[in-house]
Amino acid sequence: MSESAQYKVSMLAVCGRKPPNANESFKDCLAKNSYNEAKCRSQVDALYKCCNAFYAQNGDNAKSASCPKASLLKLKMKQRADEGSK
């Protein structure tokens, strides 16, 4: 099994479905809202939650086309948490 196929299987195992960026409702939300991430908060939160679980399972050096790099993901999740607590 190729490395990318291995991680795709891992994303399915972690998320229980296709990686979130393959989900049409996520893409539709962004397109419908002129790619304004703030208007698709719940879909972005679901993506980040899945990606966080993916890195927890596979390590920070794992790769997925669906997820930002682990270090950027951690920063984005912290920023979103800080925004939510205001």
pLDDT tens profile 17-38: 555 544 556 778 889 899 888 8
Total structural domains in the chain?
1
Indicate if the pLDDT at residue 47 is higher than 90: no
The reported pTM is 0.71
Which comes out higher in pLDDT, residue 23 or 52? 52
Domain that holds residue 18: 3-84
Contact 66, 51 (CB under 8 A): yes
**What residues contact residue 20 under an 8 Å CB cut-off, 6+ apart?**
26, 43, 46, 47, 50, 66
Indicate if the pLDDT at residue 4 is higher than 90: no
Contact 54, 6 (CB under 8 A): no
Indicate if the pLDDT at residue 39 is higher than 60: yes
